[in-house]
Each structure stands twice: as structure tokens, then as C-alpha cells.
Structure 1
Amino acid sequence: MRERNSWRSIGRAAGVLLAALWLYGAAGALAALVPVQGAAAGPREIAVWVEDNGIHTGIVFPKALLDPDLVARFAAADLRDPAYAGHDYLAIGWGDRAFFIETPRWRDVRPSTVLAAALGSDETVLHVEHVARPKESIHVSRVMLDAEGFALLTAYLQTSLREGEALPGYEAHDAFYPASGRYSAIVTCNEWTGAALRRAGVPMGAWTPFSGGVMRWL
């Protein structure tokens, strides 16, 4: 009888967890459909790009239009191959340190990592890649901003970065940097991207915890 009750308890707990995950997914999908309309004060002549690897989204900035002091923070010496610092663009995303570093692809996702990140973490990072000019594709969208929108976007980026040493990236052209902000199931890497774009005046969903919720607007 005790064993049967234990299995019933486990079954109920599993049911509650599955229901919570379903509700979270449904809420995220629906909130991403609620429009937050942006407004441009001037002509949209500055291009940035938003890219998606299926888990994480990031924003690609032209180095030439960023504050030189900010670009200098992402030094060539932080890369496995410093030659990549010669590229003219920075692809930047934000997220939980453990989740970001341990899950470059879907096959790397582990339930324990996801759960720990969802419960909340103050250990966040910026993932910074030195890249060539992006090419638009199903996974890369160009976004045009006016000067004020670009200034707001770069200010958002600067407030997300904090002092600290760089960590090795996935490949020879990227690195991780200590970031500000608390990661959670509410404020995910994709919500960081969505919030950045909303601030820059880009039409975007009200809450974008998943990468698809960001990319559907672009």
C-alpha cells in the first residue's frame, strides 16, 4: 500500500509539472502575439540583424557605429583566434551562464540545466561573436532602425554588460562576458532580445520567452 501511494504521489507531481510546462509554453506563445508597436522619430537607415539558432537569439551590431570604448571591451585577446576581431560586426546575446555555455545546440540541452535556469540565476553572461556582415536567411533577419532607436539599443547593450574577465566561447571567434540582470523563466535570453528591440522602437510581442516569438515579428 505504501509503495502504491508513493507511485500515486510521483504521478501527481509529474502531472502538475507537465501542466505547468504546458501553461508556460502556451502563455509564452500567446504573449508573443500581443503587439507592442514601435515608433520611429526619423528615417530608418541603420541596419542591425537578429539571428536565431533555435534556442538563443542575438543581435548583430556594426562595430563602426558602436562606441569605440564598448568595442574595445570585446578584445581580440579574448578570442582563441584573435584574427577574427578583424570582422566588422558583433553578434551579441544575453543569458544564464550555465545554460548558455552548456547548450550551444538542442542536443546539448539537459533537464537539470533548464530547471536551474528557470528557477532563476544572477550568473548571467553576454555571448559575443566577431562576425562578417550577416546574410539574411530563415534564421537571420535584418532590422532597420532610426538614429534614436539605435542609440537606445546600444544603451540597452551597455547596461547589460558588467566588469569582469572573459570566458572562452564555443569556437575561435567568440567569448562570454559577465553580464548584469537576473535570468529566469520570465526573463530569458529571447526576452532580452525582444525587450531590446521593443526599446529600440521595433514592433515586437509583449513577452518573448522563446526564439520563435522574437523571429515571427521580423
Structure 2
Amino acid sequence: MRRSGQIAARLLGALALLAFVYLLAGTTLSTIPRHRDWRPPATGGVTIWIEDNGVHTGIVMPKQAAGIDWRGDFPARDLADARYGAHGYVAIGWGERQFFLGTPTWWDIRPSTILRAAIGSDKTLLHVEHVAHPLPSEHVRPVVLTPDEYQRLVDVIRASRASGTTLPGYAGYDAFYPARGRYDALNTCNSWTGDRLADAGVRIGWWTPFSASVMQWF
């Protein structure tokens, strides 16, 4: 019994150390900028928004801007209530399939769900919500891109989508789409957001595993 207790204590200590190193690395690397000299255009830009709910971030974009039309990618017929298709914006996030489908609310999160996602999964989804014009707030930050930057952002988000069946969302205004990429503790929903912004040329941290890692830049 004593030996079992010692093993358990060492295991808990190792897990605590691993969590501390992960938190420290995520906090530190998120402050080192990619595209250090990036600045938003003074005129003629496209405004997008970065949103977060305290845990997860997403990118909100106008359905029609700079020659881009998202309505063909995410049509109203994919929604449980097609009336939401009249909204002018789409909010897009990426994540692990079972985490998305198994947690319609934060009350539904289970330690096993978190552990499975952290270990890694090749089954990922894009979560797309049809929303009204965003209102800037602590959790919704505007970012202005040049048309070229916006085109690059659109291209990489479209490249994140995989073929497959559209799945129902949590409510009438959203849906899930099969996605590309492996989710794990190093490649989280928030690092996906940061990487897509970096692909567009926006100033963002080198590694953004937490929602705060992303939002601190805007």
C-alpha cells in the first residue's frame, strides 16, 4: 500500500510539472510575434472579428466582402432553421470532433473528453455559425485586413475543410463540417485560429494554445 501511494504521488507530481511546463510554454511563446511589422490598412480594408468565450476562439467574417461569398460554402439549407441564413456573417472555429459534438454546453464537459482531445485525434470539424453584425466587446475584437490578406485567410480556411457529411449544430443557426488537421495539446482550437491569422500575414504569437494567447494581440 505504501509503495502504491508513492507511485501515485510521483505520477501526480509528474502531471503537475507537465501542466506547469505546458502553461509556461504557451504563455511565453504566445508573446513572441510572427509578422512583427504587420499593421492594419488605413483605408480600403475588410473588417473581421476575433471572438472568444473564455476557452475557444473563432473568426467572424462578412458573408460578402472583397469578392468573397461564403454563402456557397455554408448555405442556409445546412441549418436546422434556414432563416438564420439571412444573417450577414459567419463565425468559424475548428476543433476535435467528439469534443465539439459531446459538449453542447460547458456543463457537458467531462475529464475523459478533455484527455482524449489532448492526446490527439485526426477527426476534426469546422463549427460554422450564421450570425448578425458583431458588436465589439471584451470578447469580440475587430481586425482590419487588406483585401489580399483577407483572400489568404479565406483560402486557408477553405483548405481546412474536408469532404464529408454536414452535421447538425447545437441550435438552428449553426452546423458542423468535416475538417482537415490533427487536434492535440499542441494543435488546439486556439492555435488553429492563430495559425490561420498568421497565414494571412497578421501579427500574432508563435504558439497560441489558449484563448487569451490569441485575444491579447487585438
Q: Which band: TM-score by shorter chain?
A: over 0.9
TM-superposed deviation, 1:99: 1.5
CA distance in 1, matches of 2:217, 2:9: 39
CA distance in 1, matches of 2:212, 2:189: 12
Q: Does 1:7 align with 2:23?
A: no
Match of 1:39 in 2: 38
The aligned amino acid for 1:159 is: A
TM-superposed deviation, 1:156: 0.8
Match of 1:121 in 2: 121
Contact 1:49 1:61 in 2 (8 A): yes
Report how many residues are paired: 215
Q: RMSD of the TM alignment (CA)?
A: 1.7
* Correspondences of 1:101-116 after superposition (within 5 Å): 101-116=101-116
Gaps of 5+ in 2: none
CA distance in 2, matches of 1:44, 1:118: 41
The aligned amino acid for 2:21 is: L
CA distance in 1, matches of 2:8, 2:169: 39
Change (3 A) 1:28 1:152: same
Q: Does 1:135 align with 2:135?
A: yes
Match of 2:92 in 1: 92
CA distance in 1, matches of 2:200, 2:44: 11
Match of 1:58 in 2: 58
Q: Structure 1 runs of 4+ off > 6 angstroms?
A: none
TM-superposed deviation, 1:100: 2.1
Q: Deviations over 1:170-200 (max 9, x none)?
A: 2210011000011111110000100111122
Match of 1:19 in 2: 17
CA distance in 1, matches of 2:11, 2:96: 26
Instruction: Say which SS state the counterpart of residue 134 (structure 2) adopts.
Output: coil
Q: Does 1:197 align with 2:197?
A: yes
TM-superposed deviation, 1:109: 2.6
CA distance in 2, matches of 1:18, 1:44: 49
Which TM-score applies when normalising by structure 2? Answer: 0.93
TM-superposed deviation, 1:24: 0.5
Gaps of 5+ in 1: none
The aligned amino acid for 1:116 is: R
TM-superposed deviation, 1:85: 0.6
Instruction: Say which SS state the counterpart of residue 116 (structure 1) adopts.
Output: helix
CA distance in 1, matches of 2:71, 2:116: 32
Change (3 A) 1:170 1:158: same
Contact 1:52 1:58 in 2 (8 A): yes
Identical aligned residues as a percent: 47
CA distance in 2, matches of 1:216, 1:60: 17
Change (3 A) 1:26 1:152: same
Match of 2:211 in 1: 211
The aligned amino acid for 2:2 is: R
Match of 2:151 in 1: 151
Change (3 A) 1:148 1:81: same
